[in-house]
Amino acid sequence: MIASEFLKPETILIFVMGIIAFALDTAAGVIFGKIMYVLSGRKINPLIGAAGISAFPMSARVVQKMGLQENPQNHLLMHAAGANTAGQIASVVAGGAMLMLVPMFS
Query: pLDDT for 5-38, tens place per residue?
Result: 888 999 999 999 999 998 998 999 999 999 999 9
Per the CB < 8 A criterion, the answer to whether 60 and 77 are in contact is yes
**pLDDT value, residue 67:** 94
For the chain, domain boundaries = 8-105
Residue (of 5, 11, 76, 89) closest to 44 by Cα position: 76
Q: Give the per-residue pLDDT at 85.
A: 92
Q: What share of the chain is helix, strand, coil (3-state, %, to 5)?
A: 80, 0, 20
pTM above 0.85, yes or no: no
Q: Is the peptide bond before 57 cis (omega within 30 degrees of 0)?
A: yes
Summarize pLDDT for 21-80 with one digit per residue, the tens. Answer: 989 989 999 999 999 999 999 999 999 999 988 778 888 999 999 999 999 999 999 999
